[in-house]
Amino acid sequence: MPIQKPALSEYPINTLINDRWSPRAFDSKTVENSKLMSLLEAARWAASCNNSQPWRFIISKSEDKDAHDKAVSCFNERNQRWVKNAPVIGFVCAYKLMPNENPNRTYFYDTGMAMAQLSLQALEHNLYLHQAGGILIDKITADYSIPDNVDVVCGFGLGYQGEAESLPDELAERELEARKRNLISEFTFSNKFGEISKIFSNK
Ligand SMILES: Cc1cc2nc3c(=O)[nH]c(=O)nc-3n(C[C@H](O)[C@H](O)[C@H](O)COP(=O)(O)O)c2cc1C
């Protein structure tokens, strides 16, 4: 049975946002190309500054063992423990310049927008995404010939959920932990940054 970890939301939210979480246990079942394309299509339609669309993806599937092994080797050791079981492994990169070659101040932000859309589209196909900043940037840059005007942003594993018991004990425990978040009032201000906003006194 897939583990459900719905958001403990105080206010109603969209079902996909509610149900998304980041599992580490993946089933070995292959991810159909049509579904993978649907996820990339969702990323494609993200908003971005001046429609610059700076996101770039590197994707490998477990059917191509050499490509999959190469991707696994680009994660730090802690993340390799779980990402090796993900049937799809990827890296999201970001093009640093606007189409007119001026610097793009929001290239990381825009790329995060695309990843957020991809992660939610995944849920519609019962697929789950686990992103990982713990990756070996220099190795990825060298092994995949990443150009100077592109930054490697984040790695990820993607697939259908597997059993928590397939993970090492420490990770199996974390798989079942409740999801936690800050209060809205802790990150939303009005008059001064860091000061609790009056909007929270008359709900
Ligand atoms: C940019 C980014 C980097 C992350 N890096 C890692 C990582 O290196 N290893 C890991 O196990 N999880 C990583 N995560 C997953 C987060 O720990 C996870 O999203 C967070 O705890 C919230 O849990 P949830 O996604 O299940 O709601 C990362 C997530 C993001 C968005």
Question: pLDDT, tens digit, for every residue of 64-82?
Answer: 999 999 999 999 999 999 9
In the 8-state DSSP scheme, what is residue 48? -
Answer for the pair 88, 155: CB distance below 8 angstroms, yes or no: no
What percentage of the chain has pLDDT greater than the value 70? 99
C-alpha dihedral, 70 to 71 to 75 to 81, nearest 10°: -90
- pLDDT category at 203 given cuts 50, 70, 90 is low
Ligand 1 lined by 132 (C-beta under 6 Å): yes
Alpha-carbon span 41 to 114, nearest angstrom? 10
Residue 178 has pLDDT above 70, yes or no: yes
What percentage of the chain has pLDDT greater than the value 90? 97
pLDDT recorded at residue 1 = 72
Alpha-carbon span 116 to 102, nearest angstrom? 25
pLDDT recorded at residue 167 = 95
Residue 106 has pLDDT above 70, yes or no: yes
More confident of the two residues 124 and 203: 124
Instruction: Tell me the pTM.
Output: 0.96
Distance 63 CA to ligand 1 centre (A): 25
Distance 134 CA to ligand 1 centre (A): 9
pLDDT recorded at residue 2 = 81
Q: Nearest C-alpha to atom 5 of ligand 1 is from which residue?
A: 132
Distance 34 CA to ligand 1 centre (A): 26
User: Helices (DSSP H) in the chain: which residue ranges?
Assistant: 15-19, 33-44, 65-72, 77-83, 107-124, 137-143, 169-176, 184-187
Alpha-carbon span 140 to 133, nearest angstrom? 12
What is the best residue among 9, 24, 131, 174 to mutate for testing ligand 1's pocket, by most ligand atoms within 8 Å of CB?
Answer: 131
Alpha-carbon span 150 to 165, nearest angstrom? 38
Q: Which CATH superfamily is domain 15-164 in?
A: NADH Oxidase (3.40.109.10)
Distance 185 CA to ligand 1 centre (A): 23
Answer for the pair 89, 82: CB distance below 8 angstroms, yes or no: no
**Cross-strand partners of 165:** none
Ligand 1 lined by 133 (C-beta under 6 Å): yes
Q: Which residues lie closer than 8 Å to 202 by C-beta, 6 or more apart? A: none
Ligand 1 closest atom vs CA 134: 8
What is the best residue among 22, 80, 113, 158 to mutate for testing ligand 1's pocket, by most ligand atoms within 8 Å of CB?
Answer: 22
Mean pLDDT of the chain: 96
Ligand 1 closest atom vs CA 135: 8
pLDDT in tens, 41-66: 999 999 999 999 999 999 999 999 99
Instruction: Please state the length of the chain.
Output: 203
Distance 96 CA to ligand 1 centre (A): 23
C-alpha dihedral, 105 to 109 to 113 to 118, nearest 10°: 110
Distance 202 CA to ligand 1 centre (A): 34
pLDDT in tens, 108-148: 999 999 999 999 999 999 999 999 999 999 999 999 999 99
